[in-house]
Amino acid sequence: MRKAMWAAAAAGVVLLVAGCGSEGGTDKGGSASGGSSSAGSSATGGSGAGGSSDEKLDAAAVTKELTDAATGAGFTQDSSGEAVPAEAKECMVSWTADAEKAADPAKSYSGTVATLTSGGWSEERSSGAGGSVIKSLTKSSWKLQASNHSAGPLKLVMFVAVDSSAECAAVLAESNAKPQGS
C-alpha cells in the first residue's frame, strides 16, 4: 500500500512538472527552465548546495538539502519509500519521512519546509484539506512537492523532487511509459 501511495504522489509531481498542476492557488513565477540546457552536467553538479536559485542543482545536491532539512527538523528517513527507477535517479529524488517515529510530524514538516525556503527554495503553491498539507517549492530547475498526511491514521510525510529540464522531462516520460514490472 505504501508503494501505491508513493506512486500516486510521484505521478502528481510529474503532472505538476508537465504543466498540469497550475490551476488556482498561488503560482508565483512559472517555468524556471527558460531555455537552459545545462542538464548534461547533472552528474558532476559543481558546488551543489547553498548558492543562488539560478545555479544548476543535481540530484545529489537536492538529496543532501532534503536530508539535512528533514533530519534537522526531527525526521528520520523511511527507506522503504524509496522507489525511484534507476534511469530516473538523476532527475528525481524521493525522501520519505518515518512520521511514526517523529515526536510531532506536523512541526517537523513545517521545520523542514522552513529550512528549505531559507536555503533558497521558493514556495510556489500551498494547499490543504482534511488535515493534509501539500506545498510546491522550486529551486533552479527542480520542483519539489512536500506532502504532509500525518493528521489521520496513516502517517505519511514525503518530499518528491523532479528536475523539470527538457532532458529530464524526456527521461521521466520514457520511464513512466515502461510497464510497472520492468
- 50 pLDDT exceeds 90? no
Q: How far apart are CA 40 and CA 13, in angstroms?
A: 22
Establish if 59 belongs to a structural domain.
no
Q: Tell whether 26 is covered by a domain.
A: no
In this structure, is residue 56 part of a structural domain?
Answer: no
For 70-117, how does the pLDDT look when each residue is reduced to its tens digit (9 = 90+)? 999 999 999 887 678 889 999 999 999 999 999 999 999 999 999 999
Residue 130: what pLDDT?
87
**Is position 46 within any domain?**
no
Question: Rounded to two decimals, what is the model's pTM?
Answer: 0.71
117, 130, 120: which is closest to 156 by C-alpha?
A: 130
Predicted confidence (pLDDT) at residue 29 exceeds the cutoff of 70: no
Cα atoms found within 13 Å of the Cα of residue 93, Cβ hemisphere only = 22
- DSSP for the chain, written as a single string: -HHHHHHHHHHHHHHIIIII--SSS---S--S-TT--GGGGTTT-TT-SSS-TTSPP-HHHHHHHHHHHHHHTT--B-GGG----GGGTTTEEEEEE-TTTSS-HHHHHHHHHHHHHHTT-EEEEEEEETTEEEEEEEETTEEEEEEEE-SSSS-EEEEEEEE-SHHHHHHHHHHHHS-TT-
Write the pLDDT tens digit of every residue in 119-164.
999 999 999 988 899 999 999 999 999 999 998 888 899 999 999 9
Note down the domain range covering 103: 2-15+64-177
Q: What is the reported pLDDT for 82?
A: 66
Please give the residue that has the higher pLDDT: either 37 or 112: 112
Any domain includes 149: yes
Output the pLDDT for position 120: 97
Q: 12 or 87: whose pLDDT is higher?
A: 87
Q: Is residue 44 part of a domain?
A: no
Assign 180 a pLDDT band (cuts: 50, 70, 90): low
Instruction: Check residue 181 and give its pLDDT.
Output: 60
Evaluate whether residue 77 is within a structural domain.
Answer: yes
Residue 68 has pLDDT above 60, yes or no: yes
Q: Domain tally for the chain?
A: 1
Widest Cα–Cα separation across the chain: 44
What's the Rg (C-alpha) of the chain?
Answer: 15
* Backbone phi, psi, residue 139, to 5°: -155, 130
Residue 69 in any domain: the answer is: yes
**Gap between the Cα atoms of 54 and 62, Å rounded:** 14
- Tell how strand 132-139 and strand 142-149 pair up: antiparallel
